[in-house]
Structures are given as C-alpha cells and as structure tokens.
Structure 1
Amino acid sequence: MTILLAALGAAIGAPLRYLTDRFVQQRHDSAFPWGTHAANATACLLLGLAGGLALPDWATALLGTGVLGALSTYSTFGYETFALLRERERFLAFANVAASLAAGLGALLIGLAVAASLTGGG
C-alpha cells in the first residue's frame, strides 16, 4: 500500500513540477533555471512543514515521498547546472548551486518553524 501511495503522489508531483517550471521560467528572460529553483524551494518548504507536523506513515508516503519528492528534482538541478557550465556560464552555474542550497535549507527551516508554531512545539 505504501508503494502505491508514493506512486500516486509522484503522479501528482511530477506534472506539478513541470507546470511550475514552465510557469516560472516563461516569466524570466535568463539562462538561470528559475523554474527548477522555485519548484525545489517550494518542495523544501512543504517538506519541512510536513515533517514538522509528524504526519502518519501513509501521508508521509503520499505527500513527502510522492508529491514533494517528484516536485523537487535533483536530477534537473544537476543537469541544468552542468548545462550552464557547458555554455561557459560559470557564474550562473555557481549561483545556481549556492542559491539552491541556501533556498532549499532556508525553506525547509521555515517549514519546520511554521509546523512548530502550529503544533505549539516552539
């Protein structure tokens, strides 16, 4: 059952990631991968919130592993960073790595803090 919930969540998260990427990227005239950056930071924020709420196992499989695991994408982040390097956009490649790490960890911490305030845990 857990595998089916994760698969169902991924079936929702993957198209959501694609649509988020396209929506954001179309609004920027830049080689920087803003769409992937936005999808990954959003997934980190929501994963922090979900993790801080201590969801039951079935909900963690559906939302955490499935939806949010598919919404975020390390492979696309890696590919886009490599593509920037290949195009000799070294500054943008470095900025993508630094900004993605900072935004992802920052968003995760914000999600955890929001969860703690909602549950009275701090």
Structure 2
Amino acid sequence: MNAVVWWQSLLLVMLGGAFGSGLRFVIGSCLLQRFGAGFPWGTLAVNLIGSFVAGFLLIWVDKRGSAGWPWRMLLIVGLIGGLTTFSSLMVECLVFVRSERSLIVGFYLCITLLFGLLFVFLGARLGAFVCDD
C-alpha cells in the first residue's frame, strides 16, 4: 500500500469510526433508558446489528472488486469497527462476575457469539441476494 492510499485509508477509517462510535452511544443510551441497567442490551444490540451489517457489507464491497477498498475502510473497518465492541463485552462480563452474577456471563457470551455468527451469515446472504447480478 503506497503512502497516499495509506493516508486515505486512515482518514476513511477515522471518519467511519467516529460515526460508528456515536451510533453505539445513541443505541446504548436509548436501550439503557428503555430497559434499565440490569442487562447490557446496548452492547448486545450493537454487536448483533454490527455482525449483520458487516456480513452484508462484505458481500456488497466484494462485488465492487478493487474499487471497493474505500468502502471497506469507511464502512467495515471504520463504521462497524466503531459500532461494535469486544472490550465492552469483556468488561460487562467482569462486572457480572464481580457482582456475583456469574451465571449471566455464560448466557450473555453464548447469545452474543451464537446470534452474532447467525447474523453475520444472514447479512451475507442478504448481501448476496441484493448484489446478485
């Protein structure tokens, strides 16, 4: 990757990441207000939404061939990278353990991983359907 493309990629990732992080904050705040703090619905929601959208976007970007790299940087690496959050998932698991709610950890990890995997495949299937020529 030459220097110009590297800098363009960096700027696209930063722009997408800013929007993704803001979107994560909005979704998390709305779900916290709606459902309270008993379960991390915001993190679960953004990770599942992000999985679905990432699956869709991967197919959509791949259909563009070599012209798709800016979209990959902006949308997948930046937007979805900023929206989803593995570190929050892990911190929330630690909080559950420290507050003597360890049983929730297994449930939370299972639904996050199983549904995340399901959603990324569903997003990819939708992407293949929509982008099919």
TM over 0.5: yes
More helix by share: 2
Distance of 1:119 and 1:66 partners within structure 2: 22
Pairing 1:65–2:72 present: no
Distance of 2:30 and 2:115 partners within structure 1: 19
Hey, what does 1:39 align to over in structure 2? 46
- Aligned counterpart for 1:88 among listed residues 94, 100, 103: 100
CA positional deviation for 1:30:
5.2
Hey, what does 1:113 align to over in structure 2? 125
Hey, what does 1:50 align to over in structure 2? 57
Alignment RMSD: 1.3
SS of the residue corresponding to residue 27 of structure 1 reads: helix
TM-score, normalised to structure 2, is 0.86
- Code of the aligned partner of 2:11: L
Identity of aligned residues (%): 26
CA positional deviation for 1:119:
2.4
- Code of the aligned partner of 2:56: L
CA positional deviation for 1:115:
0.8
Distance of 2:125 and 2:52 partners within structure 1: 10
Hey, what does 1:104 align to over in structure 2? 116
**The structure with more radius of gyration:** 2
Distance of 1:14 and 1:85 partners within structure 2: 26
Distance of 2:36 and 2:18 partners within structure 1: 30
Hey, what does 2:15 align to over in structure 1? 8
CA positional deviation for 1:117:
1.1
- The 4+ residue runs of structure 1 with deviation greater than 3 A are none
Distance of 2:131 and 2:85 partners within structure 1: 29
- Aligned counterpart for 1:19 among listed residues 26, 29, 34: 26
Pairing 1:28–2:40 present: no
Aligned residues, how many?
A: 121
SS of the residue corresponding to residue 34 of structure 2 reads: coil
Distance of 1:92 and 1:13 partners within structure 2: 27
Deviates more, 1:86-95 or 1:2-11: 86-95
